[in-house]
Amino acid sequence: MAHYYTLGKIPHKRHTQFRKPDGSLYSEQLFSTEGFSDDYSLLYHCHPPTQIIRTEPQVDVSPRIAEEKMLQHRSFEGFRIKPAKDFLESRVPVLVNNDCHIVLAAPQQGMWDYFYKNTDADELIFIHEGSGIVHTQYGELPFGYGDYIILPRGTIYQVSFNDENNRLFIVESFTPLRFPKRYMSRFGQLMEHAPYCERDIRPPQDLQTLDEKGDFMIKAKKKGMLYGLHYGTHPFDVVGWDGCCYPYIFSIHDFEPITGRVHQPPPVHQTFETSAFVVCSFVPRLFDYHPLAIPAPYNHSNIDSDEVIYYVDGDFMSRKHVTRGMITLHPAGIPHGPHPGAVEKSIGARETKELAVMVDTFRPLMLTQQALDIENDNYVMSWAE
């Protein structure tokens, strides 16, 4: 998905001898997607990355489904998710299906005595509040407000936060997260009409090679179970790597909005895609400039997708009573649109300062018990005159 990048020391040819100063071999690891048929990176470790010394009993962390089927507009107060000290324990799934889990989190601290990897899903972590560093075997990823952190499945990482005030919107994707195909040339470059380019992609930096032996626990999630795997060497013992499969950051503030004389459809806001859903970014932008333009979005029916919007900041001209961290779910099958009075109110407005993340899934989402705990009652009635 990302362009080719390299960091640290690597041999001239892949799969050849690469020796340490003492003459022993570094250990090469292929980190590949779709078997050996798609993007990959090659990492060079001080020690083989396979030395498990003990394991712990597995723990069930699968979502608790409250409603599997429904046809009703819903709304949830995301900031009502209570903070939790531990990064993993803070993660609360709210909307899920077999393609993705949409998760809220308010961690007060990072991970100090363990590492984590999601073996099933690519992770998109949107930073609503907070800042810090994601530490990986590829290097460090400093992050802050408005950043999308993209972590390919299987990435081993630790997170450290600068303070206790953190709010995250997380999407776990069970199919690969990609740049939209229509943005890409046949050679893999982001094209001129794309709303961002390679200069906006922040790859890992400051590779730290930690050549240490001991007891290092990686908490690995697979099929809804969390496994504790203890390794005899530090997972961040990499001296160098190269390739196209690695974690990176893209800031929502670097998304360049596409505007027109009349209202543009949601695909102009698309930022990432999978075979099962898309992610869009709504950012501050000028409104439509046709003399008779109506800036508010038209009523529409998402016949083939459930629409989820996570409201970040700013003023939203199409909705009433929007709060920071609010989530709306508009399921496929029934139309939705601006709240009463919003259309007339939008006429003549020059710009919007809204900031939001949208996820449109092609298969229905289910509600978890935690989602019901933070639901705004009677949201479905909020279009009544």
Q: Is residue 271 part of a domain?
A: yes
Domain with 309, as residue range(s), is 256-381
Q: Average the pLDDT over each of 82-96, 278-292, 308-322 and give the range with the smallest value.
A: 308-322
pLDDT in tens, 113-158: 999 999 999 999 999 999 999 999 999 999 999 999 999 999 999 9
Amino acid at 63: P
Q: Is residue 163 part of a domain?
A: no
What is the rounded distance in angstroms from the CA atom of residue 38 to the CA atom of residue 137?
20
- Given a cut of 80, is residue 319 above it in pLDDT? no
The DSSP line for 260-272 is: -SSPPPGGGGEEE
Q: Is residue 285 part of a domain?
A: yes
Q: Is residue 32 part of a domain?
A: no
pLDDT in tens, 35-67: 888 899 999 999 999 999 999 999 999 999 999
Q: Is residue 219 part of a domain?
A: no
What's the pLDDT at 385? 59
**In the beta sheet, which residues pair with residue 47?**
none
Tell me the pTM.
0.96
- Given a cut of 80, is residue 315 above it in pLDDT? no
pLDDT in tens, 7-40: 999 999 999 999 999 999 999 999 988 888 889 9
What is the rounded distance in angstroms from the CA atom of residue 356 to the CA atom of residue 143?
18
| Burial tier of 126 (Cβ tally within 10 Å: 0-12, 13-18, 19+) | buried
Q: Is residue 202 part of a domain?
A: no
Domain count, the chain: 1
Q: Is residue 208 part of a domain?
A: no
Q: Is residue 281 part of a domain?
A: yes
CATH at residue 298:
2.60.120.10
> Taking a C-beta distance cutoff of 8 angstroms, is the pair 336, 294 a contact?
no
What's the pLDDT at 17? 98
